[in-house]
């Protein structure tokens, strides 16, 4: 039976259950979000993800890349080298997973500009960077004994892929070829997911092992369909608002993809990454997808069997191959 690597070890594919494939537990986004871009409260995070578990949720994929983990722990005592996740962050995620009774899959890789250390990238070629990702996936994050289970999220900040970002993508592709781990990208606002697919294809990554993230944030008509037609997973994964217009827009995108024959390529998640998105601070937290958004999908004609395929089968296939 194929399995996914989690913070507590391998979990068989048929035991992953309802899954949120693009989330963050502890994260440091202060470079861009000075007001609420730091989540470090372990008790609060345990309660927030515990609410998902109480609804029947089973697995969360934590796509917090290396640069987003430095200082993102309840007690950040370590000095991360910059080439991987801060070990204190990894250990905190593992404690939350155990306390909440959830499987948590941890991502490895590098985020996007302006978070990337340009000097560090200038001194490392894609093969050197790939070696570090392979280490995280096969041996574990240094100082933790906990292995990554996916590559991501890796991304592009703008409508083009910068030189440092290109090295990150090539490294991710080469780590994928060495391990089989799936790749999950950050591709917000502009249709940059298509060039990302081109770059990964040039590095011999099959599209069915790629998830293009944040397709619901790109307003170009037909963009998500084109991603799906190329064979990749479509991340409708910023479902963090109850705004009626935003809910209707995302529901319509799900329906469009499903009725075009791409139900098995849809990934749904919240991308909780700032305090204001937590339920304790008035946000929708980690449960909105399984409550109001699910109801909206039902009203639009997505039945419970289709919802289960999207939220159980699709993430399991991405994680396990």
User: Known binder of ligand: residue 176?
Assistant: no
**Phi, psi angles (nearest 5°) of residue 206:** -70, 140
Instruction: Report the half-sphere exposure of 91 (CA within 13 A, side-chain side).
Output: 15
CA 17 to chain centre: 17
d(CA 69, CA 145): 17
d(CA 114, CA 173): 21
Residues paired with 241 in a beta bridge: none
Report helix, strand or coil for 19. strand
Whole-angstrom CA distances from 256 to 7, 11, 246 are 35, 32, 15
For residue 228, count other CB atoms closer than 10 A to its CB: 23
Instruction: Determine phi and psi for 115, rounding to 5 degrees.
Output: -80, -20
CA distance 314 to 208: 11
Q: Has 48 been labeled as part of a binding site?
A: no
How many angstroms separate the CA atoms of 144 and 96, rounded? 15
- Cα end-to-end distance, the chain, whole Å: 11
CB-facing half-sphere around the CA of 165: CA atoms within 13 A: 22
- Are 55 and 97 in contact by the 8 Å Cβ rule? The answer is no
24 is in an annotated binding site: yes
Q: Is 36 annotated as a binding residue?
A: no
Strand extents, DSSP E, the chain: 3-6, 9-12, 19-23, 27-28, 38-39, 59-62, 103-108, 150-155, 183-186, 210-212, 233-236, 266-268
Three-state DSSP class for residue 23: strand
Annotated binding site for a divalent metal cation: 22, 24, 153, 186, 214, 271
Q: Which residue numbers belong to the known binding site?
A: 22, 24, 153, 186, 214, 271
């Amino acid at each position: 039976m194929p399995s996914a690597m989690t913070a507590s070890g391998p979990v068989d594919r048929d035991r992953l259950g309802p899954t949120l494939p693009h989330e963050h537990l502890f994260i440091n986004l202060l470079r861009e979000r000075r007001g609420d871009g730091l989540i470090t409260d372990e008790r609060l995070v345990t309660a927030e993800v515990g609410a998902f578990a109480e609804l029947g949720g089973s697995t969360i994929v934590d796509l917090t890349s290396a640069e987003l983990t430095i200082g993102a722990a309840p007690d950040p005592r370590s000095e991360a080298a910059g080439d991987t996740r801060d070990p204190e962050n990894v250990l905190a995620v593992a404690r939350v997973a155990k306390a909440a009774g959830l499987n948590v899959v941890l991502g490895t890789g590098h985020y996007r500009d302006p978070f990337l250390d340009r000097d560090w990238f200038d001194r490392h070629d894609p093969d050197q960077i790939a070696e570090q990702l392979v280490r995280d996936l096969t041996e574990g994050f240094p100082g933790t004994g906990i292995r990554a289970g996916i590559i991501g999220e890796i991304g592009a900040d703008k409508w083009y892929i910068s030189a440092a970002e290109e090295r990150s993508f090539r490294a991710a592709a080469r780590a994928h070829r060495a391990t089989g781990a799936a790749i999950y990208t950050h591709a917000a606002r502009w249709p940059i997911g298509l060039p990302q697919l081109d770059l990964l294809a040039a590095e011999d990554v099959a599209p069915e092992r790629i998830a293009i993230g944040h397709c619901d944030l790109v307003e170009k008509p037909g963009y998500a369909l084109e991603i799906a037609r190329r064979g990749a997973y479509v991340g409708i994964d910023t479902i963090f608002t109850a705004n009626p217009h935003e809910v209707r827009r995302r529901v319509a995108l799900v329906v469009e993809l499903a009725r075009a024959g791409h139900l098995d390529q849809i990934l749904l998640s919240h991308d909780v990454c700032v305090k204001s998105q937590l339920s304790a601070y008035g946000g929708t937290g980690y449960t909105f997808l399984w409550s109001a958004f699910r109801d909206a999908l039902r009203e639009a004609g997505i039945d419970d069997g289709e919802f289960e395929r999207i939220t159980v089968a699709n993430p399991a296939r991405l994680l396990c191959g």
